[in-house]
């Protein structure tokens, strides 16, 4: 029977090194190392925008608005100025400038041909069939600057002549004649307040009639007021208008005035018709000359000065 073989003795195990605690890191009360906090995110600079979602931010160019950045920018500017100052000036050959001097002399001494400026009147009072007045200014030949001065002096004279003539505000006929003002009142109450309706009618007259004749022309005239505005324009007696019950009624009132003023409104000027849907405008009523206080409220006067003269009722 074989003898058992001897077994090798186990070798002594090598001790493993123990971790040395990091004494530089902060520790907790139980001796363990405190966890390192995550770093705070850097703030986004003002003015940064993100053209691509999820991409890096883009900041505007130029110097940052702080003292250090401004100082650095000023330093760069000073360096550029110093570099320019240290460069030698380019050499200039005076002979190259002689052709330019000749061109400059030709420009300053070149003669400019004369011309004629004219100004025409627009709405001056002239005889029938005559042309409007015209003023002319001759500008002689002169050298460059002398020609410019001559034209400027002529413009001053032209402006003065323009002011002496009627500035073009002569659109439409010239108003002529004496003012007539006729005040009417309704026979019945009108409107929500129950007041009597009052109307004033004005026009210019070339008839030359006195106040008694004007009163006789209007004293017994009546007409119907309403919501139609009839106006006559384009004649020398102004723009008389009346709010009447109809177009024909309004024209009848104005034609009656034309009979005293010496104007045929169907031949001279034009009719203008309008109206209103407002309840406050164009109220109805039978209108006649106002005789309140024992006077005819009819005036005939040349101008605004003084009190108007009225006639008494019989």
Over residues 22-46, the pLDDT tens digits come to 556 677 777 777 777 777 777 777 6
In this predicted structure, what is the pLDDT of residue 199?
Answer: 92
Contacts 24+ apart (CB under 8 A), 194-203: 196/285, 197/225, 197/283, 197/285, 197/287, 198/290, 199/225, 199/242, 199/243, 199/287, 201/240, 201/242, 201/253, 201/257, 202/238, 202/240, 203/179, 203/237, 203/238, 203/240, 203/257, 203/261
Indicate if 268 and 201 belong to the same structural domain: yes
Indicate if 250 and 300 belong to the same structural domain: yes
Are 169 and 287 within 8 A, CB to CB? no
> What percent of the chain lies above the pLDDT cut of 90?
23
Indicate if 194 and 267 belong to the same structural domain: yes
Indicate if 152 and 205 belong to the same structural domain: no
Indicate if 306 and 267 belong to the same structural domain: yes
The mean pLDDT value of the chain amounts to 80
pLDDT at 1 > cutoff 60: no
Indicate if 226 and 268 belong to the same structural domain: yes
In this predicted structure, what is the pLDDT of residue 275?
Answer: 82
Residue 7 lies in a domain: no
Residue 251 lies in a domain: yes
Least confident stretch, 8-17, 33-42, 289-298: 8-17
In this predicted structure, what is the pLDDT of residue 3?
Answer: 63
Number of domains in the chain: 2
Distances (CA, A) of 264 to 102, 273, 297: 75, 18, 25
Least confident stretch, 37-51, 145-159, 199-213, 267-281: 37-51
Q: How confident is the model at residue 193 (pLDDT cuts 50, 70, 90)?
A: confident
Which residues have CB under 8 Å from 132's CB, separation 6+?
120, 121, 122, 123, 124, 126
The Cα–Cα gap between 306 and 303 comes to 8
> What percent of the chain lies above the pLDDT cut of 70?
78
Residue 105 lies in a domain: no
Indicate if 187 and 294 belong to the same structural domain: yes
Are 235 and 183 within 8 A, CB to CB? no
**Mean pLDDT computed over 132-152:** 85
User: Closest by alpha carbon to 255, among 227, 235, 274, 284?
Assistant: 235
Indicate if 191 and 301 belong to the same structural domain: yes
In this predicted structure, what is the pLDDT of residue 55?
Answer: 74
Residue 16 lies in a domain: no
Indicate if 164 and 198 belong to the same structural domain: no
Residue 293 lies in a domain: yes
Residue 20 lies in a domain: no
- Comparing 265 with 110, which gets the higher pLDDT? 265
In this predicted structure, what is the pLDDT of residue 260?
Answer: 94
Indicate if 225 and 274 belong to the same structural domain: yes
In this predicted structure, what is the pLDDT of residue 246?
Answer: 94
pLDDT at 18 > cutoff 70: no
Task: Provide φ and ψ at 112, rounded to 5°.
Answer: -115, 125
Residue 21 lies in a domain: no
User: Closest by alpha carbon to 26, among 34, 18, 37, 38?
Assistant: 34
pLDDT at 251 > cutoff 90: yes
Strand partners, 164: none
Residue 119 burial (CB < 10 Å; 0-12/13-18/19+)? middle
Residue 252 lies in a domain: yes
In this predicted structure, what is the pLDDT of residue 31?
Answer: 72
**Mean pLDDT computed over 238-263:** 94
pLDDT at 286 > cutoff 60: yes
User: Closest by alpha carbon to 184, among 304, 310, 291?
Assistant: 291
Indicate if 157 and 184 belong to the same structural domain: no
Domain enclosing residue 152, as ranges: 111-121+131-171
Indicate if 143 and 196 belong to the same structural domain: no
Q: How confident is the model at residue 205 (pLDDT cuts 50, 70, 90)?
A: very high
């Amino acid at each position: 029977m074989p003898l058992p073989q001897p077994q090798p003795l186990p070798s002594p195990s090598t001790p493993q090194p123990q971790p040395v605690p990091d004494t530089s890191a902060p520790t907790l009360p139980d001796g363990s190392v405190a966890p390192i906090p995550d770093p705070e995110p850097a703030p986004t600079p003002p003015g940064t925008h993100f053209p691509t979602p999820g991409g890096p931010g883009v900041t505007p160019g130029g110097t940052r608005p702080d003292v250090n950045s401004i100082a650095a920018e000023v330093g760069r500017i000073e360096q550029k100025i110093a570099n320019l100052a240290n460069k030698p000036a380019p050499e200039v050959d005076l002979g190259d400038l002689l052709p330019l001097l000749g061109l400059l002399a030709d420009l300053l001494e070149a003669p400019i041909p004369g011309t004629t400026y004219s100004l025409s009147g627009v709405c001056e009072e002239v005889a029938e069939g005559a042309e409007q007045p015209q003023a002319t200014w001759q500008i002689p030949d002169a050298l460059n600057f002398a020609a410019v001065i001559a034209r400027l002096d002529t413009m001053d004279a032209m402006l003065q002549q323009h002011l002496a003539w009627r500035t073009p505000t002569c659109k439409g006929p010239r108003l002529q004649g004496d003012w007539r003002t006729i005040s009417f009142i309704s026979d019945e109450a009108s409107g929500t307040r129950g007041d009597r309706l009052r109307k004033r009618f004005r026009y210019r007259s070339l008839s030359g009639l006195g106040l008694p004749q004007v009163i006789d022309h209007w004293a017994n005239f009546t007409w119907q007021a309403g919501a139609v505005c009839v106006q006559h324009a384009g004649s020398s007696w102004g723009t008389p208008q009346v709010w009447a019950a109809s177009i024909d009624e309004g024209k009848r009132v104005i034609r009656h005035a034309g009979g005293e003023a010496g104007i045929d409104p169907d031949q001279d000027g034009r009719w203008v018709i309008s109206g209103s849907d407002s309840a406050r405008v164009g109220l109805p009523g039978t209108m006649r000359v106002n005789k309140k206080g024992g006077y005819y409220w009819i005036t005939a006067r040349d101008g605004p000065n003084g009190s108007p003269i009225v006639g008494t009722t019989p």
